[in-house]
Structure formats: structure tokens, C-alpha cells
Structure 1
Amino acid sequence: MQRLQSSQSREKSSPGDLVGVYRGDGYTTHETDDDIESEIVSEAGDIGDRALHSNRPSEHGSPLLSFCHGSANNRNKKEELPKVLEYSSCLTHLAVFGILGVLTRYLLQKLFRPGAAGVTSNLSILYPDLPSNMVGSFLMGWLGVVFKPSLSHVSDFLAIGLSTGYLGSLTTFSGWNQQMVELSFEGCLVSSIVGFLIGLFLVAYSIIFGVETAKGFRLLLEKRLVTKFVGSNRILRVDGCKSHVVVMAVLLLMLCAVWSVSGVYVRDEFREENGEAQLWLACIVGPFGVWIRWFLARLNGRGLGKAGFLKWIPFGTLVANVSAACLMASLSTIQKAVKTKTCDTITAGIQVGFLGCLSTVSTFIAEFNAMRESKHPWRAYAYAMITICLSFALGILIYSVPSGFFD
């Protein structure tokens, strides 16, 4: 029996009713409606490669796929791609959009830093990545919540590229956590706590504002355009094998061009000892962080063990953010110990690119917002506390203890 039989049958069942669940891994379990809701909420941000057609057997264990891709009849209208082509196209979309996210985040840092707008600064509760986290969270309300089903209707890869690739790389949790770790290391523990609270408050209301404005815009579109375009099936779709190959080829050429140009600039900037080398290095290593985060996202909604214990926790996003925070603290410790221009450039490039793309605030806050609107809103704050406290504690341990020997 499939997890979601129909919306009518779910409405007839009481919250305590057991539902037969095919998990896609060879066995069937029984779960309550609360368990199903927990899985839907924990998959609000991303579900990794489980969203691909080649992994659709697990769709019976993933309620979110039914929401994002519509009914089974609509899905069957799309031509299924070979698994290799499907994965290649998805990875290419993630890489290209991930690099665009890195570039946007870097530009926002420059725009709001001291000497420009002067809003953010290092060792401040208004940390340098706050503007990009707010902008990315706002856009997540548009592209990752309200209009994600519409984007998936055009192309599943476009939806993944924009939400997981671009917005996930535009926002970064590791940079936020490291700024608070360093602020605490300087003796400002209260300020670092306030920095977490203000940061969480601002990104949470950014996605709320994004969702509300997107719903209003969608309502306007429905009144003006739906009967004209949707009813006549004029919405563009990329659903044929040839069209996917063409799009992937174009994006692959763009990726190779960006990597080639970035490699040349990294070499030249290193020779001139220019600080811009870290940006070009970030463009080279950034896609690897996006890919790892996307693969980890398949853990979201699965829980622990065969029984799916703590299914409401998005373990994929949690592991990505905590591990990136730990690596960020480790590189900052190395940077503080070595104190050379070359080391600063390499570590900064990895931090901005690889770790900035491995960790994400937009996905984290989408999950937080879905939990807050669920039947168990306390889970949102528990999830936020687990992520922040674990990352901060490990960051303090990794950064502060060795740094005491270097000072």
C-alpha cells in the first residue's frame, strides 16, 4: 500500500489511525498521521536524489514528492531519462547555480561591509553573511516553497538547481556560526548568543515575508494568466530526453568555462598576492560542497534506523551544517596558526566556496518554518537549538582550545 492513498482517505482517518507505508527499501511499516506529517515537515527543504525519477520507488515513502510533482498521471507524461543522464544533468544544474550563489553571496558581503554600506562587520552580531542569509531566505519563500511545484512542472532539475543549488549556496550557516565562535572567543559570549537570536529572527521573518508576498503574486497570476496559459498547456516544459541533453550541454560548457577562467585567475592572483584569488578558488571548490549537501539531503525524513526514530529531524541538513561548522573552525584555527598570505587565501577560498555551499541557512529555515506551522511547533525551536548549540559547542572546542596555544 502506498503512503499517500488520497487526500480524501487521509481526511477520513483520525490522527491516531495507522497507515500502511511502503518505504521503498523492501518492507512495509505502519505509521500514524503524525508520523507522516513529521516526514513531510522534515522534507520541506530538500530530499536529495530521492526526488529523481530513477529513485521514484522511494516516492511511496516520501509524501513531499506528491506535492512537488503532482499526481501520478502527470508524472507519467514526462519522459523518464536514463539514470546516468538524470544524475549528470542534476549535478550540472547544482554546480552552475551553486557558483552563482557563491558570487551573489560574495557581492552582498562587499556591498554591506565597512567602507561600502557599512551595515555588517567582523566580530559583530551583524555578521558579514547576514544580508545574503536574509535575501536567500526571502527567495526560498518564493522559489523553494510557493513556486517550487511550478518550477518542477517546467523542469525538476531547474527546481533543484534554484532551491538547492543557488539558494543553498547563497546562504551559509558555517560562516554565521564561525563569526559567533570568534566573537565568543574574544570574551563576548552574550553578544554571540544575541547574534544567534537576531540572526534566527531575521531569517525566519525573511522566509515568512517571502512566502506571503509570493502567495499574493501567485494569486495575481492566477487571476490574469492561468486561464490563458495553463488551461491551454502553453507553459514551457523541459521533459524530453533531447531537450534535457541540450540544456545539460549548455550548462556543462558554462561550468567548464567558469572553472577554466577561475583557474587562470587563481594562478595570476596568487602571483600578485591579490585578495581576489579567494573568490576564484571558491568558484572552483564550491560545487563540491553543493553536491555533498545534495546527497546528504536524502537522509531528510528518514529518521534513525528501520523504525524511523526522530523522523521529524532533517538529519541530512543537520549533518551538513554541523560538519561544515566544524571544518570552518578547523580551517580558521589553521589560518590563525600559520599566518601566511598563501594560507589565508587558500583557507578563505575553501571557507567561502566549499564550506559556504556545504552549509545552508535557506534550507534550514524552510524546515524551521514548516515545523513552526505544523501541529508540533515546538519542534522548530528544538531543531534550531540542536543545530545551533551543537555547531557552536563543537566550534568553540575546535577553535578555542588550539588557539590558546598560538596566542
Structure 2
Amino acid sequence: MDEGFDPSHVPVPRFSPGSGSGDWVRRREILPGGPMGGDSIGLQAASQRVEGANNSTFISRSFSLRRSMDSSKAQSLSRRASLGRTRSLGTCGCDDSPSSLSMRVPSRDASDLVRDSFTLSRDLVEEMLGDIDGSVMAQAGDTGDRVADNLDSENESLGLFSMNNGEKSPLPTDAIIYSSEKNQIESHRSSSLKEKKDKLPGRLDYISYLVHLAVFGILGVFTRYLLQKLFGPSLLKLTGDDSTLYLDLPSNILGSFLMGWFGVIFKADIRDISDHLVIGITTGYLGSLTTFSGWNMKMLDLSARGHWVFAIGGILLGMAIVNESLRYGVETAEELRRSLLIWHNKSSRRTKIILENLKVNTQKRHFVVLLLMLVIIGVLWTLSGVLAKRKLDNVTNGAVLWLGCLVGPPGVWARWYLARLNGQGLGRNGTLKWLPIGTLTANILAACIMAALETISKEVNTKRCEIIVKGIQFGFLGCLSTVSTFVAEVFAMRQSGNIQRANAYMLLTIIPSFGLGTLIYSLPVWLKHYN
């Protein structure tokens, strides 16, 4: 230890609520041996204090991460003896009975864990995430028909929408940590009745999720269509049907980038405003903005015409680009998040009150939002139906967009429902829990149906049939499949150190989709010589 060490200036690691990283903040500690106390403490005691603070910070972060694990899916997680006591994990089940439509998910899914771990050192990531059961990582994207429990919402978010900015003081004793955890649980139990009153009744709550998914899904379809026109042969001519740069590449890039923002870094903060909003943005908008089936169909079309190099190149290049897009989105969002946290800490009380009022945390506000979303979906569906009929009667390609908007929401709902399979595993023993079965099923199923419809369109060979088929492909199947969630799950596996599982998941998605599509579409094209 340096001779100039001043025990009154001990660098104490401070973990701000929701900051997501172990920022070191230097602050002045009033120790007994400091300027305002006696000389009863020596350098050795000060050193022990620093070491204890470091350990307790690590324990606090570890418990914060592990509190989100679903014990029905995760193996028993035991901390090393040096890390203190073990706390059991709260369970979060899903009632599949018809009599109950209320839904729950773990308070934080794997994307939140990845967010917290992203800025940590590799050693700390391995320590905290290395032994997490794969079933949790399988839920990094869509969460099926389960709704987030906000037990840890204030601790996991930036606190941008909360007045409580109190700092956690790291203390090197397991007893105090245990007391803190116990107080949080008791506080949660005492407020459970109030939380129920502040939410919509079960059936209305379920309807609210469906309406949010529908509205944001249609917005995702609109955005995908506009990006196709902007970057396609009509305007910029950067993408096309005869190129490795397929038409849906820009939307897949943008959706993956935004998934890093709203599906990883800012997801907890959006959830702090509204559970319905975070599902609408991530599962509804971003899941519909990106499409795996459209990407797979373009590669099938290239291979059917003999452009195998372009087809394989499109698969490899497309996968690399969307992976990097999500990673870049996480990195940029992390920097923005730091800036917002600094701004929030310096903002006035009036600004904090305004942010607090943005939360949809009362039953009245939930009703208002539900009515507003019902009006929006009603207008969008009516407009889409009228325009689709008019365009279809005139047999113009403009009908594709409006047909897509009509059938897009059912695709989103189907994918949201299938996402409940993520982390469940196969069979009674639940093997392969690390594999996101729901997302995998949605992508492969959509790819096969799209190939089958394309074959039917070739066989019928009429303009009207072609428009209807393209509308279903663009809307329903484009929303049923997703790239943003797929890439987020791959990213979560990589961040947890499971590189082999991430690669296996990619291969299990791409190879069957392309292989079955070749049998369903390319083979008939070769045999019957369709144009």
C-alpha cells in the first residue's frame, strides 16, 4: 500500500439502480480515522473496508441478476462460499387453463441480464452468467403469453421514470444483504393487493396485449414496406430480387439495431412505463419489421434460378450483418443510457415529476390507453380493408401492402403464442431447454408456408392470385417469422459464453428452413420449369 494512502478517500464501488454497470464513483467516506474522527483506525482496517465493499458490490449485482431467474426453469444456483448466502428464486408460472387469461413472466428476462452484463469484464460475465440455465437464455426475445412481474422494475431500470434515486450502500456483511432482500420481498407482498387494483381485469389485460401487438405489428409492416421501396429498384436501387442484398435486408438491419436499443438496453425502462408498451415495441413492431421467411424465400428464389453463390452469400452475409447490427445497437444504446442517467441525476424535480407521470400505473390509465389503442386498430383495419378491396378490384400491386396490414396482426399473435415454448425444452424431462423452441418453430413454419404459397402462385399463374399470395406472405408470414428476436437470442447465448449453442441454434434455424423450402418450392420449379 502506498505511503500516501488516505483512508478518508476510499474509492467505493457504487451500483446505481438500473445503471447496468459497475461504475466506480469516488466519494469521501467519513471514517473514524479520517479528518472528522479519531485515529482509531489504521491502514489495514481501511484496506479491509475497501475489499469488503468490493465483495458486497459483487454480491449485490449477483443477487440482482439471479433474482430474475425462473426457478421452474433454472437449476439450483449456488454461489461460492466467498460470495455469501444463497437465496431461492421466485417462480413465475403461466396458467394455461381457459379460466385464467392473466399471465406472468420472470421479472427480468435474459435480454435484461445481457444488458446488465454487457459492460462488465469478461471474467465477471462468466462468473454471473456462466452457470445460468439455458432455459432463461432461450427467453431473450419474445415472452409468449406471459406478462412481466415488476418486482425489480426500479432496480433494473435507469430510474428515468422514478423519483427514487437513492443510492445503495455496499456493505460487506451477508446479514445486511439478507435483510435487504427480505425487506424487498415483504414490501412486494404488502403491495400486491394495490398492484392488482392498478391493473386491468384478466380478460381486459389480455385483450390490451393483443391490441398493442396488432397496432405495433401493422406499424412494423408499414415500415418494412417503405424500406423495400426506398432501398429497392424503385428509388435507391441498393437491394433487389437478383442480388445478395435482398429486399428485406434494410428492414432486418434496422430492426436488429433497434432490438439492441429497446429489446436489451432500454427494455427495463420501457417496462417501467408500461408492460404492454414493451411487448408492443419488441414483439409487435420489431418482430414485424424484420422477417426471416421473406429472407429465406429470396434465397430460395435465387437458388431455384441457379444463382447458388448469391443464395449462399446472401445467407452468410445477411446473418453477419444483422448480428453486428444488434451488437452495434447495444453499444450505442449503452452510451446513450449513461448520458441519460447523468442528465436525470442533474434534472430538476419538476422534470422528474413529469417523467413519473408518464407511467401507466393505474387502472384508469390502463383503460384510457386500451380505448385509444382500440380506436387506432379500428381505424387501421378499416382503412386497410377499404384500400385492399379497391386495389384488388383493380388488380394492382398496391393491394399487397393493405392485405399485409389486414393479416399481419394474426401473424404477430401466433408468434407471441408460440414464444411460450421458449425455455420449456422437449418432452417430459425438458431436454434442450437452452433452445428457443417457440422462435425456431415460428421461423421454420413461416418459411415452409411461404415456399408452399409461392409454389401455388406459380401453378395458378394469375395476377390476382399472385397479389393475394404476396399479401399473405408480406403480412401474415412476415409477422409470424422474425429476425430481431432470433438475433437477440443468439446474442444472449454468446454473451453467456455458450458460443457452440449459439452456432447450433443458427444452423438449426437456417438449414431446415432452406432445405425444406428447396423441396417445397425449388424442386417443383426445376421439374415443371416455372418462370
Cα–Cα, structure 1 residues 228 and 197, in superposed 2: closer, same or farther, change >3 Å?
A: same
Runs of 4+ off more than 3 Å: 4-11, 18-26, 33-37, 66-78, 226-234
Provide structure 1 residue ranges, at least 5 long, that are not aligned to the other structure.
Answer: 27-32
Q: Aligned residues: percent identity?
A: 49
Corresponding residue for residue 427 of structure 2: 305
Contact (CA 8 Å) 1:289, 1:357: kept in 2 or not? yes
Q: CA deviation at 1:5?
A: 7.3
Q: CA deviation at 1:254?
A: 1.0
Contact (CA 8 Å) 1:138, 1:207: kept in 2 or not? yes
Summarize the alignment of residues 146-185 of structure 1 with structure 2, pairs less than 5 Å apart: 146-185=265-304
Cα–Cα, structure 1 residues 6 and 207, in superposed 2: closer, same or farther, change >3 Å?
A: closer
Contact (CA 8 Å) 1:47, 1:299: kept in 2 or not? no
Cα–Cα, structure 1 residues 19 and 226, in superposed 2: closer, same or farther, change >3 Å?
A: closer
| Higher Rg of the two aligned structures | 2
- 1-structure distance, mates of 2:293, 2:221: 14
Corresponding residue for residue 510 of structure 2: 388
Q: CA deviation at 1:185?
A: 1.1
For 1:117-138, what per-residue CA distance to the aligned partner results, in whole angstroms no more than 9, with x for missing partners? 1110103211000000000000
Cα–Cα, structure 1 residues 319 and 226, in superposed 2: closer, same or farther, change >3 Å?
A: farther
Provide structure 2 residue ranges, at least 5 long, that are not aligned to the other structure.
Answer: 1-61, 68-76, 96-128, 160-183
Corresponding residue for residue 37 of structure 1: 133
Any idea what SS the aligned residue of 2:347 has?
Answer: helix
* Mapped pair 1:50 → 2:131: no
Any idea what SS the aligned residue of 2:146 has?
Answer: helix
Q: CA deviation at 1:8?
A: 7.8
Summarize the alignment of residues 49-128 of structure 1 with structure 2, pairs less than 5 Å apart: 49-51=145-147, 76=192, 78=195, 79-128=198-247
- 2-structure distance, mates of 1:206, 1:372: 15
Normalised by the length of structure 1, the TM-score is 0.88
Q: CA deviation at 1:258?
A: 1.1
- 2-structure distance, mates of 1:405, 1:8: 56
* Mapped pair 1:370 → 2:492: yes
Q: CA deviation at 1:406?
A: 3.2
Q: CA deviation at 1:39?
A: 2.0
Give the superposed CA RMSD: 3.1
Q: CA deviation at 1:105?
A: 0.1
- 2-structure distance, mates of 1:6, 1:116: 49
Corresponding residue for residue 327 of structure 1: 449
Of 106, 111, 129, the match for 2:248:
129
Cα–Cα, structure 1 residues 273 and 344, in superposed 2: closer, same or farther, change >3 Å?
A: same
- 1-structure distance, mates of 2:231, 2:402: 20
Corresponding residue for residue 345 of structure 1: 467
Any idea what SS the aligned residue of 1:40 has?
Answer: helix
Q: CA deviation at 1:187?
A: 1.5
- 2-structure distance, mates of 1:131, 1:247: 32
Normalised by the length of structure 2, the TM-score is 0.68
Summarize the alignment of residues 214-363 of structure 1 with structure 2, pairs less than 5 Å apart: 214-226=333-345, 228=347, 234-235=355-356, 236-363=358-485
Contact (CA 8 Å) 1:337, 1:406: kept in 2 or not? no
Corresponding residue for residue 29 of structure 1: none
**1:272 maps to amino acid:** N
Aligned length: 391
Contact (CA 8 Å) 1:97, 1:161: kept in 2 or not? yes
For 1:17-43, what per-residue CA distance to the aligned partner results, in whole angstroms no more than 9, with x for missing partners? x997757479xxxxxx86743122111
Cα–Cα, structure 1 residues 223 and 343, in superposed 2: closer, same or farther, change >3 Å?
A: same
Contact (CA 8 Å) 1:300, 1:313: kept in 2 or not? yes
For 1:62-81, what per-residue CA distance to the aligned partner results, in whole angstroms no more than 9, with x for missing partners? x99x9689976578464243
* Mapped pair 1:145 → 2:264: yes
